Amino acid sequence: MRVLSFGLCAAWMLSGCSGHADETTSPPTAAPVEQAPAPAAAPVVAAPAGPVVTDTGFELRATPEAGYRAGQAGTFAIALTPSGNYHVNQEYPIRVTLRAPSGVTLQKAELVRADAAEFGERLARFSVPFTATAAGTPRVEAEVDFAVCTPENCMPDRRTVAVTLAVQ
């Protein structure tokens, strides 16, 4: 039984070697190595959404009104304002998905372009109706799917803003 090392066989091949490794010989197996468990990854904690998101080409803002009263209808605004030479894409299916805590009733949980109070190239604004059942400071989140564009390029995006409602 003859075992040839790669380097030795390569040298023999260059010199016309016709030998080969014995196919019944297998390399020795290594003893299993115990590995220490991988350290647990630190949990990823996303920062809570704020009332304003500003990025290249736009500002997205959630704005409360003053004077909310428990049991009475109120509204807050979600506004997308493009900046620089960007504009709101008029054909993109803009959508606002709302998440409210218990005690806050939204008239609609999802808003689309037809629900916008104002929708143009320089501003897309939604007036969001709600009713809070008790006094407090409930926080409502709005995930907004939109696109802002320049004459050369469009940027579809999805961002979340939040508004805290001071209800008396």
Condensed to tens digits (0 to 9), the pLDDT of residues 147-166 reads 999 999 999 999 999 999 99
Count of domains for the chain: 1
Residue 112 is part of which domain span?
52-164
* Residue 138 · residue 76 · CB < 8 Å: no
pLDDT > 90 in the chain, percent: 70
How far apart CA 17 and CA 25 sit, in angstroms, is: 20
Please tell me which residue, 24 or 119, carries the higher pLDDT value. Answer: 119
The whole-number pLDDT of residue 22 equals: 43
Question: Angle 166-118-156 (CA atoms, 0-180°, nearest 5)?
Answer: 95
Asked if the structure places residue 120 within a domain, the reply is yes
How does pLDDT run across 23-61, given as a tens digit for each residue? 444 444 555 545 555 555 555 556 788 999 999 999 999
The whole-number pLDDT of residue 14 equals: 38
Q: Which of 126, 143, 137 is nearest to 76 (CA)?
A: 126
Q: Among positive and negative, which fits the CA dihedral 100, 106, 109, 112?
A: negative
Asked if the structure places residue 30 within a domain, the reply is no
How far apart CA 89 and CA 93 sit, in angstroms, is: 9
**Average pLDDT for residues 72-77, to the nearest whole number?**
98
* Residue 167 · residue 105 · CB < 8 Å: no
Q: Is the pLDDT of residue 15 over 60?
A: no
Asked if the structure places residue 43 within a domain, the reply is no
Please tell me which residue, 3 or 32, carries the higher pLDDT value. Answer: 32
The whole-number pLDDT of residue 40 equals: 56
Looking at residue 142, which CATH number applies to its domain?
2.60.40.10
Asked if the structure places residue 117 within a domain, the reply is yes
The whole-number pLDDT of residue 48 equals: 80
